[in-house]
Amino acid sequence: MNSTRVVVTGIGVVSPNGFGVTDYWEATRASKSGIRRVERFDPEQYPSKLAGQIDGFVVKEHLPSRLVPQTDRMTQLALVGAEHALTDAGASTEGTDGYGMGVMTASTSGGFEFGQGQLQNLWSKGGQHVSAYQSFAWFYAVNTGQISIRHGMRGPSGVVVSDQAGGLDALAHARRLVRKGSDLILSGGVDAAICPWGWVAQLTSGRMSTEDRADRAYLPFDADASGYVPGEGGALLVLEDAEAARRRGVTGVYGEICGYGSTFDPAPDSGREPTLRKAVEIALADAGLEAGDIDVVFADACGVPELDRIEATALMEVFGPRGVPVTAPKTMTGRLGSGAAPLDVATALLAMRDGVIPPTANVTLSPDYDLDLVTAVRDAPVSTALVLARGHGGFNSAVVLRSVDWK
Amino acid letter at 145? G
Query: Residue 270's pLDDT band (boundaries 50, 70, 90)?
Result: confident
Q: What would the mean pLDDT of 39-61 be, rounded to a whole number?
A: 95
Euclidean distance between CA atoms 113 and 327, whole angstroms: 31
**Cα 55 from Cα 155, distance rounded (Å):** 34
Question: Distance from CA of residue 217 to its chain's centroid?
Answer: 20
Residue type, position 64, single letter: P
> CA angle 93-352-7, nearest 5°?
30
Position 93 confidence tier, pLDDT thresholds 50, 70, 90: confident
Residue 1 confidence (pLDDT): 56
- Asked if 172 contacts 399 with a C-beta cutoff of 8 angstroms, the reply is yes
User: Of all residues in the chain, what percent carry a pLDDT higher than 70?
Assistant: 100
pLDDT of residue 132: 86
Higher pLDDT pick, 91 / 93: 91
Q: Is 69 exposed, middle or buried (0-12, 13-18, 19+ CB in 10 A)?
A: exposed
Per-residue pLDDT at 209 exceeds 60: yes
Task: Tell me, letter by letter, the H, E, C secondary structure of the chain.
Answer: CCCCCEEEEEEEEEECCEECHHHHHHHHHCCCCCEEECCCCCCCCCCCCEEECCCCCCHHHCCCHHHHHHCCHHHHHHHHHHHHHHHHHCCCCCCCCCCCEEEEEECCCCCHHHHHHHHHHHHHCCHHHCCCCHHHHCCCCHHHHHHHHHHCCCCCCEEECECECHHHHHHHHHHHHHHCCCCEEEEEEEECCCCHHHHHHHHCCCCECCCCCCCCCCCCCECCCCCECEECEEEEEEEEEHHHHHHCCCCCCCEEEEEEEEEECCCHHHCCCCCHHHHHHHHHHHHCCCHHHCCCEECCCCCCHHHHHHHHHHHHHHHCCCCCEEECHHHHCCECHHHHHHHHHHHHHHHHHHCEECCCCCCCECCCCCCEECCCCEECCCCEEEEEEEECCCEEEEEEEECCCCC
More confident residue, 138 or 286: 286
Compare 267 and 253 and report the one with higher pLDDT.
253
Give the pLDDT confidence of 180-193 residue by residue, as tens digits. 999 999 999 999 99
Q: What is the pLDDT of residues 277-315, one digit of tens each?
A: 999 999 999 999 999 999 999 999 999 999 999 999 999
pLDDT, the chain, mean: 95
Strand partners, 397: 262, 389
Q: Are strands 255-264 and 6-15 parallel, antiparallel or unpaired?
A: antiparallel
**Tens of pLDDT along 321-379?**
999 999 999 999 999 999 999 999 999 999 999 999 999 999 999 999 999 999 999 99
What values do phi and psi take at 397, rounded to 5? -140, 150
Distance of CA 386 to the CA centre of its chain: 14
Strands 158-160 and 101-106: parallel
Least confident of 114-123, 316-325, 397-406: 114-123
Pick the residue with more confidence: 54 or 128? 54
Query: Is the four-CA dihedral 200, 202, 205, 206 of positive or negative sign?
Result: negative
pLDDT at res. 5: 94
CB of 8 within 8 A of CB of 254?
yes
User: Which residues, in sequence order, are CB contacts of 333 under 8 Å at separation 6+?
Assistant: 15, 16, 17, 33, 34, 35, 52, 231, 233, 340, 343
